[in-house]
């Protein structure tokens, strides 16, 4: 019954921006920490950011700190990842996750290239 559906990925030039969305259902969204992970080909899955249940606490990987912002709208059961100043090394499949759980979305592809 738990569903996480990512959207917003695409092809963007270096220095550009994208906003990813994750629409959640099947659980009490407002009680859960949420996280974004990414996985590039040949690399391990990497925690990008997470956010507390009410949105008052966030954490970021050093590689994205200052460029990415995680946020959530509990009224819409949606978590977002605003990605600015994108670099080619940000290219990956981005996944939404109920923090520390077995529940994942299907992923949305982000490609940063000229």
Diameter of the chain measured on Cα atoms:
41
Quick: pLDDT tens for 5-48: 999 999 999 999 999 999 999 999 999 999 999 999 999 999 99
Residue 2 has what pLDDT?
Answer: 97
The 10s digit of each residue's pLDDT in 49-108 is: 999 999 999 999 999 999 999 999 999 999 999 999 999 999 999 999 999 999 999 999
Q: Please give the Cα distance from 105 to 64 (Å, whole number).
A: 21
Q: Which residues of 32-62 are buried (b: 16+ CB within 10 A; e: fewer)?
A: bbbbbbbeeeeeeeeebbbbebeeeeeebee
Cβ(21)–Cβ(71) under 8 Å?
Answer: no
pLDDT at 66: 98
pLDDT given for residue 18 in this prediction: 98
């Amino acid at each position: 019954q738990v569903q996480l559906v990512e959207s917003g990925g695409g092809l963007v030039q270096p220095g550009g921006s994208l906003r990813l969305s994750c629409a959640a259902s099947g659980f009490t969204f407002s009680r859960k920490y949420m996280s974004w992970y990414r996985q590039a080909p040949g690399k391990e899955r990497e925690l990008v950011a997470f956010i507390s249940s009410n949105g008052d606490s966030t954490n970021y990987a050093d590689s994205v700190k200052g460029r990415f912002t995680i946020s959530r709208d509990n009224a819409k059961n949606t978590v977002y990842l605003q990605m600015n100043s994108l670099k080619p090394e940000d290219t990956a499949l981005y996944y939404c996750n109920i923090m520390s759980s077995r529940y994942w979305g299907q992923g949305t592809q982000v490609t940063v290239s000229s």
